[in-house]
Structure 1
Amino acid sequence: MKKILFIASFVAFAFTADAQQTPKTADTVKKAAPNLYNPAADAKADIAAAVKKANALHKNVLLQIGGNWCIWCLRFNDLVTQDTELNKYMNYNYVVLHVNYSKENMNEKVLADLGYPQRFGFPVFVVLDGKGTRLHTQNSSYLEEGKGHSKAKVMEFFENWSPKALDPKSYETKAK
């Protein structure tokens, strides 16, 4: 009898503890999901606005193409937003825009206009100048290290495609 009472009280305690947890409804799951990439966004208009802003600020545009479903996209974003040095350099030199690629919206026309960068997988990065000319498409696998991205490789990528690196004046030697 004591065993039955012990088992019954144990089961009742377990159900009580479980009932106190927040139920996982569709609303709570949606709120927890990352929201970097917006499938409903007008990528063409957003890119045009980013180019206009970059031109006015003498920056380049960094398109981060991927989706909220992509763990590597989220890892890259975490690195460049949480690392102070990378974040500062990126924001000083680039207007950053996340361009969605998902089953809800593949942005096929926009990606065709950018030279089909999705061929490299995700995330993939496209650098545009202040006039909207595509300067470079970066396969992110070259920036990976372990289960994330290498800070040194990402910084090198940012530096190599910054406005200063592409400015001919940076390479002119002064006549003596």
Structure 2
Amino acid sequence: MKKLSFIVFLALTTFAWSQNSNKTIDKRKSADKVLLVQNDTGELEAKKKAAAEEKAKLPKPYDPKADAQADINKLIEQAQKEEKNIMIQAGGNWCIWCLRFNQYVQTTPELKEIVDENYLYYHLNYSPDNKNEKVFDQYGNPGDKFGYPVFIVLDKNGKMIHVQQSDVLEEGKGYSLDKVKEFFLQWTSKS
């Protein structure tokens, strides 16, 4: 009976120790999860801050106060005279990828030259201030499908000939020179 009591005592002691040990491990796992969440939150906040700083430095080409339809009508008249297509970059000053694309084209001489020679370029605003719903409706609301920026190519007569989502033009944290160049060259009036 003493042996049995001793075995039961050992078993209970071992069980109690393992339960306590499991609680310690669980506490460590919980603490690790809290640290991971805090670290992820910290990284997320740092990324948000960096994006906000980048966005603040980039030019803001979208004008929420513009009469987009009137502007596009004038571009169509000009496009007919100059035999160019119209490139509409739809988005807003709130969209970092929209601002990055604009900056990329403006600061990449090869791309800027293609655009200037072949297109009349327009930044169509979409923002809480002005969603330009009537204008977007006539082009099938491509931002709803593809996000922003989205590109709408019009021929010289104002007929929509192509809609291009932008994510396929991306590379890393920016845009691919080859993909953007190919896109621009594909939809010129000379193509």
Q: Give the fraction of aligned pairs with identical amino acids, expressed as a percent.
A: 50
Match of 2:94 in 1: 69
Read off the aligned partner of 2:94 and give its amino acid letter.
W
Match of 1:110 in 2: 135
Deviations 1:18-58 (A, max 9, x none): xxxxxxxxxxxxx9674310001001001111111111100
Q: Which runs of 5+ in 1 are unaligned?
A: 1-30, 166-176
* Structure ranking higher in helix proportion: 2
Output the CA distance in 2 between the equivalents of 1:150 and 1:53: 30
Output the CA distance in 1 between the equivalents of 2:113 and 2:140: 29
Output the CA distance in 2 between the equivalents of 1:33 and 1:156: 25
The CA RMSD measured in Å over matched residues stands at 1.3
Match of 1:131 in 2: 157
Larger C-alpha radius of gyration, 1 or 2?
A: 2
Residue 63 of structure 1 aligns to a residue in which SS?
strand
Deviations 1:109-137 (A, max 9, x none): 10000111112100000000110000000
Which of 81, 92, 106 is the matching residue for 1:56? 81
Read off the aligned partner of 1:42 and give its amino acid letter.
D
Q: How does 1:21-60 map to 2 (within 5 A)?
A: 34-60=59-85
Residue 159 of structure 1 aligns to a residue in which SS?
helix
Deviations 1:116-165 (A, max 9, x none): 11121000000001100000000001101000111110000011101111
Equivalenced residue count is 135
Match of 1:163 in 2: 189
- Asked if structure 1 preserves the Cα contact closer than 8 Å seen for 2:58 and 2:99, the reply is no
Output the CA distance in 2 between the equivalents of 1:72 and 1:56: 32
Output the CA distance in 2 between the equivalents of 1:33 and 1:86: 18
Output the CA distance in 1 between the equivalents of 2:147 and 2:77: 27
1:154 aligns with 2:176: no
Q: How does 1:74-113 map to 2 (within 5 A)?
A: 74-113=99-138
- Asked if structure 1 preserves the Cα contact closer than 8 Å seen for 2:119 and 2:188, the reply is yes
Name the TM-score, length of structure 2 as normaliser: 0.68
Output the CA distance in 2 between the equivalents of 1:33 and 1:155: 22
1:122 aligns with 2:167: no
Name the TM-score, length of structure 1 as normaliser: 0.74
Output the CA distance in 2 between the equivalents of 1:61 and 1:34: 21
Deviations 1:63-94 (A, max 9, x none): 01000010000110111100001000111000
